[in-house]
Structure 1
Amino acid sequence: MPSRFTRPTFISYDGKTDPVEHVSHYIHMMFLHNHNDALMSRVFSSSLGPTALGRFNGLRKGSIHSFAELIQEFGVRFMTYSWVPQPVDALLFMKMEARKTLWSYTSRYWELYNEIGGGNEKIAASTFRLGLPKDSKLRESLTRRPPKDMRQLMRRIEEYKKLEDDRQQSKGKALAVT
């Protein structure tokens, strides 16, 4: 180890999450040293949690000759945990469930949209609208006046979420009075 080397604090890999994401995090944390193949290889094991380290320790001594080979072997051993992106058409199957709030539907929708990779604002507006109940005032509004961009869509959703919150609070006050 170089005399002035300070090991960064890594998010410990537990063997249960995406290995590509872990390697990306590791490389980012070791950015100042990524030219030093030996150091990158030597420090990598300190980024692994006990379970992952146990599975990774089975490497045959002398079988790895570069950091690239080490990462490749790591990927092979933990491939089953790689993240597989959702297809865009998964958004078409998102529906606001009965008795669920607009807030919960919106949260689930944006989570899936971001998982897919987003990027297409027209698809976002259309699929979000189609997932709303047919009698939804927001759906009616988005149908009558489709948003021109993502900001406008999000602004409109926020307006309706506030209206929903106000209605919920009014119901709660009415119940408290009776």
Structure 2
Amino acid sequence: MAGMEELCQQNQTLQAQVQDLTRNHRRDAYPLQTAPEFQPFSEAIAVVEIPESLRTLVLDSYDGTTDPREHLAIFNTKMLINGATEQLKCKLFPGTLKNGALTWFSSLPPRSIVTFSDFSQHFLSQFSAKQANQITSASLFNIRQKSGESLKNYLFRFTNVFMQARNKDPTICTEAFENGLSAGPFNEDLPIRHAQSLDEIRKRAAPFIIQEESNRLKADRDKEERARHQTNQPRRTDPFTDRGNL
């Protein structure tokens, strides 16, 4: 009997060791991935620090159910009085949002806020009551990424429309987004593992948007360098023309 108890104990110890090895293998094979940090501001805006005098400024809040123009007018008036720059307005305005308005802001693509003018226009478009009553599920499937439109802009535009839709079913949202996406790296990535929500789409799109922006900047740089090179090229002379000028 003692031998059987010792054998059972050894068997339990062995099972525990196998379970530990299995867990370690899974952890090594499938390392945990942290979600990209939410950063909707451009790099130029992100580095701007809010002065202490504006940190304690009391601002009216907005939940997405009232007139967005009135809220924006009140905000702009306070910013004018306090001498806030356009970049500071971008940093301070999200602090006035709550409920549905804050949810909209939290869904913005990374680095999509470049100027306060564009930011405020997207805000006004988003919370227009007239538009909110016109968005249906069929409208979402009619959205297409335009020729030459960046992934960032398409995601921004789709998000604006989706947040106005009466039916915010996540399945309809992800299918409509993928339906309107143009051919490209992100379009090839999404079908491999279909997204379950717009938030997942936004997170998975982040590295593709960064890569796209990097390629665009390098293409612009190369274009400028070619233009400078052509400008610095010595002018070719025509021997017949030059002979006539002698």
Q: Which amino acid aligns with 1:155?
A: K
Query: Match of 1:107?
Result: 156
- Do structure 1's residue 93 and structure 2's residue 93 form an aligned pair? no
Instruction: Name stretches of at least 5 consecutive residues in structure 1 with no aligned partner.
Output: 1-9, 11-19, 26-80
Q: Which amino acid aligns with 1:142?
A: L
TM-score norm. by structure 1 comes to 0.50
Query: Match of 1:140?
Result: 188
| Identical pairs, percent | 13
Count of residue correspondences: 102
CA contact (8 A) 1:87 1:116 kept: yes
Q: Which amino acid aligns with 1:136?
A: G
CA spacing shift, 1:118–1:102, aligned 2, 3 Å:
farther
Q: Deviations over 1:23-63 (max 9, x none)?
A: xx9xxxxxxxxxxxxxxxxxxxxxxxxxxxxxxxxxxxxxx
CA distance in 1, matches of 2:223, 2:192: 35
* Map 1:63-74 → 2, pairs under 5 A: none
Q: Which amino acid aligns with 2:211?
A: L
* Map 1:11-160 → 2, pairs under 5 A: 21=66, 83=130, 84-117=133-166, 119-133=168-182, 135-160=183-208
Instruction: Name stretches of at least 5 consecutive residues in structure 2 with no aligned partner.
Output: 1-59, 71-127, 227-246
Q: CA deviation at 1:141?
A: 0.7
CA distance in 2, matches of 1:164, 1:117: 32
Q: Which amino acid aligns with 1:175?
A: K
Q: Deviations over 1:57-82 (max 9, x none)?
A: xxxxxxxxxxxxxxxxxxxxxxxx96
Instruction: Give the alignment's Cα RMSD to 1 decimal.
Output: 2.5
